Chain A
Amino acid sequence: MRCKKCAQKAIIKLPRHNTAFCGACFDEYVLDQVRRAIKSERMMTHEDRVAVAISGGKDSLALWDILLRLGYNCAGIHINLGIGEYSRLSQEKTEQFAHQRNVEFILHRLNETHGAGIPELAQETHRPACSACGVMKRYNFNRLAQEAGFTVLATGHNLDDEASRLLGNVLHWQQDYLDKQAPTLPSTHPKLLKKVKPLFRLAEREMAAYCVLKKIDYIVEECPMSKDAKQLVYKDMLNRLEETIPGTKQNFYFEFLKRQKPDILELDGRLKDCIRCGQPTTSDLCSYCKLVESLAVAKAGGGKSSP
């Protein structure tokens, strides 16, 4: 197979674009897609201080690498979720990446703050692990970035993440979530950072290929707590469609964005300060403080007993 651009030996075939690229042309394609995403969705400028949410996986490390290469003023934030060997390896990959490039990152350990990682939090509060993890990550990434003076928070969500999330939201007609599913979410509260997803034009496979090409060492193993995650089922369905009808994922998500009339300001007009921590929330007590309170009650022996 030959590169459709320069006729060198191809390293990747992209059926949804009916093309194939060699290493150099694929690298240029990835950078170009990120440039297009940032420009078309007005994500950031070179004057912004950009916090990159780093999991230690392929998408976040690739995003950090790309933003550095594009000359953005960015730093990583890594949250150690306290999920045993998985979290230890995730932190190790993050540290290794930062060390190799001589760049800084902020490290936050849930075990140090709460005396509990995600497994204990989920068990003690009787919440699904992915739900507790989502609350912890959203809250801490925003708060850590905001307190450190960043102006934008970038996450490594790719096309597959967004298309599968859209499928889930459509199947369950979650209108609130549909209205807020966008590559750029503006800051609608002084303590809520602008959030951006610069990889939304690139497929999950392309991000993994970018890491192999650029020799970025990331954690390949899946989070042991996400085995039954619904998102994996939606991704599997979309990939089966993609196999037969290339371009399905891109068409599904991009056409949604064209038709979307986000009413984010109206939705977030309900935001107020949490009575406990002062962070933005739609109720008196934010989801994070509710979770932490449940954990404290459970630890004091007041929680529901396990079935």
Chain B
Amino acid sequence: MSSLYRLHLVEGLGYDTPMRVLLHHPRREVEIKGPRRVCDVLKELKLLPETVLVIKDNELATEDETLRDEDTLEIRPVISGG
């Protein structure tokens, strides 16, 4: 399996615990400082909304939803091929 690693995306780390975001292809975890809307997180990660689902605490989150530091997030790709 792919190894897990961390990437600090935003400045300000160290003041609070930022939200943890699980990404795939390859499987990895990043940390993003909240509060921030889902659509802004996707923009920052350069992901098209049509190609992913944002799952917050096992529930689907819409693009206008605000994410906070205490949230655990999964951004799951939906495109498969071959």
Contacts and interface: CB of A to CB of B under 8 A. Distances in A.
Contacts of B27: 221
Contacts of B65: 1
Contacts of A130: 82
Contacts of B76: 208, 212, 220
Interface stretch (A140-148, A192-200, A235-243, A273-281): A235-243
B59 A11 contact: yes
Interface in A230-260: 231-232, 235-236, 239-240, 242-243
Nearest to A229: B82
A165 to B, nearest CB: 10
Interface size, B (range): 20 to 34
B50 A243 contact: yes
Contacts of A213: 60
A104 B55 CA distance: 31
A240 B48 contact: yes
A164 interface: yes
A225 interface: yes
Contacts of B51: 205, 236, 239
Nearest to B51: A239
Interface of B: 1, 24-25, 27, 48-53, 55, 58-65, 76-82
Given A205-B78, A222-B25, 10 more contacts: A10-B62, A13-B63, A20-B62, A57-B80, A85-B1, A130-B82, A209-B53, A220-B24, A235-B81, A239-B50
